[in-house]
Chains A and B, each alone.
Chain A
């Protein structure tokens, strides 16, 4: 079974631009969660989508948004990029979401200059 894939793996953007990251979950998994990982704040929960609906949201500004498609693939968008948005963005998929193991993708490393 193919694992969670994320594209692109690396990205360099300029302040003020916007970016879209993509995540393809494991086949059959309906839950996709997004996390931001930085050296200072560690791993922080952004949001979770289940069957195309946002089910949970972390404490991030509205510049961070996401969506999930009918095939469970998910995208995350960050608008008006700030230097502090530089991070490793990880997505994780699970069968049902909620309590249960999550399978993480390799991440997208975003650098904002």
Chain B
């Protein structure tokens, strides 16, 4: 089983709708990162969360870290076609900076 589970695996939403992607770890989180990837391309850094309860926002994307639940959520408000892509969470679960990544959530936004 994956150490980092993302849900849902895929998501299709109408433009303007809000959506949430979850990332749950089976181990202690020493740092949680969110990235976006266009198909077949490199990853673009979105946000880094390190402390329990931490919440960060960038434009219409907000990410929160629940340290107790070992979970992070990524929320997109008023989605746009430009938000389409694959969202990946990455984390250090060993404290040794060996990063693991979730399986990704494929987001499609219908105009």
Give chain A residues whose Cβ lies under 8 Å from the Cβ of B98: 45, 48, 56, 58
A99 touches B42 (CB 8 A): no
Would you call the interface of chain A mostly helix, strand, loop, or mixed? Answer: strand
A107 touches B40 (CB 8 A): yes
Question: Cα distance A33–B35 when bound, in Å?
Answer: 15
Give chain B residues whose Cβ lies under 8 Å from the Cβ of A43: 88, 90, 101, 104
A42 touches B102 (CB 8 A): yes
Closest chain A residue to B38 by CB distance?
Answer: A106
A106 touches B41 (CB 8 A): yes
Give chain B residues whose Cβ lies under 8 Å from the Cβ of A103: 45
B41 touches A107 (CB 8 A): yes
- Return the CB mask of A22-58 against B: 1 if under 8 Å, else 0: 0000000000010100000011110010000001101
A105 touches B42 (CB 8 A): yes
Question: Cα distance A42–B4 when bound, in Å?
Answer: 11
**Nearest Cβ on chain A to B35's Cβ, whole angstroms:** 8
Known: A45-B100, A48-B97, A99-B97. 12 other contacts (CB 8 A): A35-B101, A44-B101, A90-B43, A92-B43, A99-B30, A99-B92, A101-B48, A103-B45, A104-B45, A105-B42, A106-B42, A107-B40
Q: Closest 7 A-B residue pairs measured CB to CB?
A: A104-B42, A43-B101, A104-B43, A101-B45, A98-B97, A106-B42, A42-B103
User: What are 19 residue pairs bridging A and B, where the CB atoms are less than 8 Å apart in the complex?
Assistant: A33-B99, A42-B104, A43-B90, A45-B98, A45-B100, A56-B96, A88-B40, A90-B43, A99-B31, A99-B50, A100-B48, A101-B45, A101-B48, A102-B33, A102-B43, A102-B99, A104-B45, A106-B41, A109-B40
